[in-house]
């Protein structure tokens, strides 16, 4: 009988243990690191009625315990200044209920982690949409936990590209001359349709299982670092997807911005700066939802802001990231996004973050860069190191098809873009680009490879950090008017069933190889060209629609001549004497032609010269 009682007691205890273990469904962050500069860590414990329990620990000091209106959440803030290097045990107690015991792991940081150096002007960034780049593991195209399956016949559907596909083609990207990869979001996006782009995330601590695993993302990072390359994560602070587990069971009603009825953002980001803006317009901009499937996050909720800060720090530390690109940066509440940015930069002082500021005036973009004098006029500092040069992009998509440029059209629009550089606190830390995954494809706008060569010559030699979009280096096209899916076409050769493989010389046709050969030559030259990375710039007002500028550093000078006209133009070097100085010859990077700088010379129509002066 005594043995039977013991067996029954054991079974009851085991049942209670199982009930206790099932009490917690999630713990976020899932683990943390010793030695972080941030003095506290707020751990989210989620489970049925967990707020009814009281947490305690003998291993780590609990500073604060917060509960929300939802009893399934418990936020426990611990002091991490002297936390263990291995683990801490938390016990959750409730009267007339078995205790819940949880071991929380602390890991040791990589050596020099806090001093990591982010991407900078020495880099050339290759932008990839992973679902459309390469399918390295077709077995993962669909997943039982995910709603949407792969179907390449659907332009706006999932096509199956994944992390393995990127990892398998790192040699291609490196040989092209890129030094960093920015990928659109890879965290789980469980929308029932259109989930391929990743911007409606449903779990921000998990790589989407159709793309791969967290471990494969770390493998990508390691593979890049072994090549001396960098990894930039696309981070979204403004919104999640409706399928996010916290949206389905929110901690508080004001976890996201709510209205009596659905209200979309008015996209008027200028209201953030406008001294005359109505409160209604400003509220609609920063609190309106981007689309009906993307709830707008309320960063003024202190738990939300802390959650986003810790999540970003977690990914930087876990995946050994070299930078973040922040989506829709200027849609966020400007005070809270500056706190988020500062928290990350305080932890990693040499890190880099570039914000998407899709605005159309240099003063409005410059407002958002760290230590902006324009921002200071409103007592504001974003702490954002880098911004995106959308005004240069605006000029590029217009100027190269000007048939008869006037006083204020043609290449002068590019020139005028740089005239306004005095507005920026740090012109070397500006991302320059001709296109990205949201814009029109430049090879669709300008189908002549000669235009592509001029545009890439500009992007690769001007001040800032160049970014190129996957596939443009082989002439890929796409019509924005046909939907975003068309500007995000599959890279040919990325799928086992593809007839042609553009990752290989033999798989590219003659025109594709012309695009690739030019791009690789230009980008690999830039990789080694310190005068382009750090050199000062002098430019000259365009004459006859020809734009000339110089980059100079110590005893190195590069002269760039861009002639988008159909006809040739004659240049007199005497006009540029102050920049040419003692130099007598210029060696063109692409043609290897030697230009005599002692006499006038012709530059053919639709041609760019990148002259290393001798």
Contact 229, 323 (CB under 8 A): no
* Closest of 29, 41, 34, 28 to residue 79, by C-alpha: 41
Has 327 been annotated as catalytic?
yes
Rounded CA separation 161/487 (Å): 15
Identify the active-site residue in 42, 327, 347, 588.
Answer: 327
- Looking at residue 149, what DSSP letter applies? P
Rounded CA separation 201/205 (Å): 10
Rounded CA separation 561/8 (Å): 87
Contact 457, 564 (CB under 8 A): no
CA dihedral angle for residue 27, residue 31, residue 37, residue 38, rounded to 10 degrees: 0
CA dihedral angle for residue 451, residue 453, residue 456, residue 462, rounded to 10 degrees: -100
Please count the other Cβ atoms lying within 10 Å of the Cβ belonging to residue 30: 14
Buried b (16+ CB within 10 A) or exposed e, 342-352: bbbbebbeebb
Identify the active-site residue in 42, 216, 356, 435.
Answer: 356
Rounded CA separation 382/375 (Å): 8
Buried b (16+ CB within 10 A) or exposed e, 255-281: bbbbeeeeeebeeebbbbbeeeeeeee
CA dihedral angle for residue 152, residue 154, residue 158, residue 160, rounded to 10 degrees: 0
What would the two tokens of residue 453 be? 């060569």
Spell out the long-range contacts of 595-601 with Cβ–Cβ below 8 A and sequence spacing 24 or more.
597/573, 598/573, 599/573, 600/570, 600/571, 600/572, 600/573, 601/570, 601/571, 601/573
Stated length of the chain: 614
**β-pair partners for 465:** 431
CA distances from residue 35 to 45, 114, 305, 309, 317 in whole angstroms, order as listed: 23, 9, 22, 17, 12
Ramachandran angles phi, psi of 482, nearest 5°: -90, 5
CA dihedral angle for residue 217, residue 387, residue 401, residue 532, rounded to 10 degrees: -80
* Closest of 312, 332, 99 to residue 238, by C-alpha: 332
3-state secondary structure of 437: coil
Active site residues: 327, 356
């Amino acid at each position: 009988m005594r043995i039977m009682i013991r067996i029954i007691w054991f079974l009851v205890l085991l049942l209670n243990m199982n009930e206790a273990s099932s009490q917690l469904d999630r713990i976020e962050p899932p683990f943390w690191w010793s030695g972080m500069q941030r003095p506290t860590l707020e751990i989210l414990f989620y489970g049925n009625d967990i707020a009814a329990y009281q947490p305690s620990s003998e291993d780590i000091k609990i500073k604060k315990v917060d509960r929300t209106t939802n009893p399934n959440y418990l936020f426990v803030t611990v002091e991490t200044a002297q936390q263990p290097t291995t683990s801490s045990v938390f016990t959750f107690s409730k009267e007339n209920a078995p205790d819940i015991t949880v071991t929380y792991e602390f890991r040791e940081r990589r050596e020099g982690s806090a001093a990591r150096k982010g991407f900078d002007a020495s880099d050339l960034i290759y932008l990839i949409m992973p679902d459309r780049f390469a399918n390295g593991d077709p077995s993962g195209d669909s997943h039982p936990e995910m709603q949407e399956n792969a179907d390449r016949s659907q332009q706006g559907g999932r096509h199956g590209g994944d992390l393995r596909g990127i990892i398998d083609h790192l040699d291609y990207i490196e040989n092209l001359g890129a030094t960093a990869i920015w990928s659109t979001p890879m965290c789980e996006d469980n929308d029932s349709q259109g989930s391929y782009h990743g911007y409606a995330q449903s779990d921000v601590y998990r790589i989407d299982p159709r793309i791969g695993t967290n471990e494969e993302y770390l493998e990508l990072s390691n593979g890049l670092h072994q090549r001396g390359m960098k990894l930039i994560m696309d981070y979204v602070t403004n919104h999640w997807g409706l399928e996010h587990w916290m949206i389905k069971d929110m901690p508080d009603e004001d976890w996201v911005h709510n209205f009596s009825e659905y209200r979309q953002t008015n996209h008027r980001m200028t209201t953030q700066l406008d001294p005359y803006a109505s409160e209604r317009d400003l509220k609609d901009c920063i609190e309106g939802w981007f689309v009906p499937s993307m709830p707008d996050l309320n960063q003024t909720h202190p738990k939300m802001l802390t959650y986003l800060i810790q999540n970003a720090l977690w990914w930087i530390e876990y995946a050994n990231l070299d930078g973040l690109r922040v989506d829709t940066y200027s849609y966020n509440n400007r005070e809270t996004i500056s706190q988020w940015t500062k928290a990350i930069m305080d932890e990693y002082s040499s890190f880099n973050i570039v914000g998407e500021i899709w605005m159309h005036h240099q003063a409005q973009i410059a407002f958002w860069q760290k230590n902006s004098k324009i921002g200071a006029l409103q007592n504001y500092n974003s702490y954002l190191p880098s911004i995106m040069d959308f005004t240069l992009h605006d000029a590029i998509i217009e100027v190269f098809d000007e048939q008869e440029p006037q006083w204020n059209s043609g290449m002068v629009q590019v020139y005028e873009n740089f005239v306004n550089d005095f507005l920026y606190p740090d012109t070397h830390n500006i991302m320059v680009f001709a296109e990205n995954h949201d814009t029109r494809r430049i090879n669709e706008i300008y189908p002549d490879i000669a235009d592509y060569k001029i545009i890439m010559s500009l992007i690769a030699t001007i001040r800032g950090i160049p970014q190129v979009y996957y596939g443009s280096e082989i002439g890929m096209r796409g019509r924005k008017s046909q939907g975003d899916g068309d500007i995000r076409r599959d890279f040919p050769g990325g799928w086992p069933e593809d007839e042609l493989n553009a990752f290989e010389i033999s798989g590219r046709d003659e025109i594709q190889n012309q695009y690739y050969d030019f791009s690789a030559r230009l980008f690999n030259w830039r990789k080694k060209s310190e005068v382009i990375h750090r050199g000062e710039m002098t430019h000259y007002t365009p004459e006859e629609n020809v734009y000339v500028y110089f980059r100079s550093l110590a005893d190195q000078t590069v002269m760039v001549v861009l002639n988008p006209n159909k006809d040739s133009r004659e240049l007199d070097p005497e006009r540029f004497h102050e920049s040419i100085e003692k130099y007598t010859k210029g060696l063109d990077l692409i043609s290897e032609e030697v230009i005599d700088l002692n006499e006038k010379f012709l530059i053919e129509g639709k041609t760019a010269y990148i002259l290393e002066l001798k």
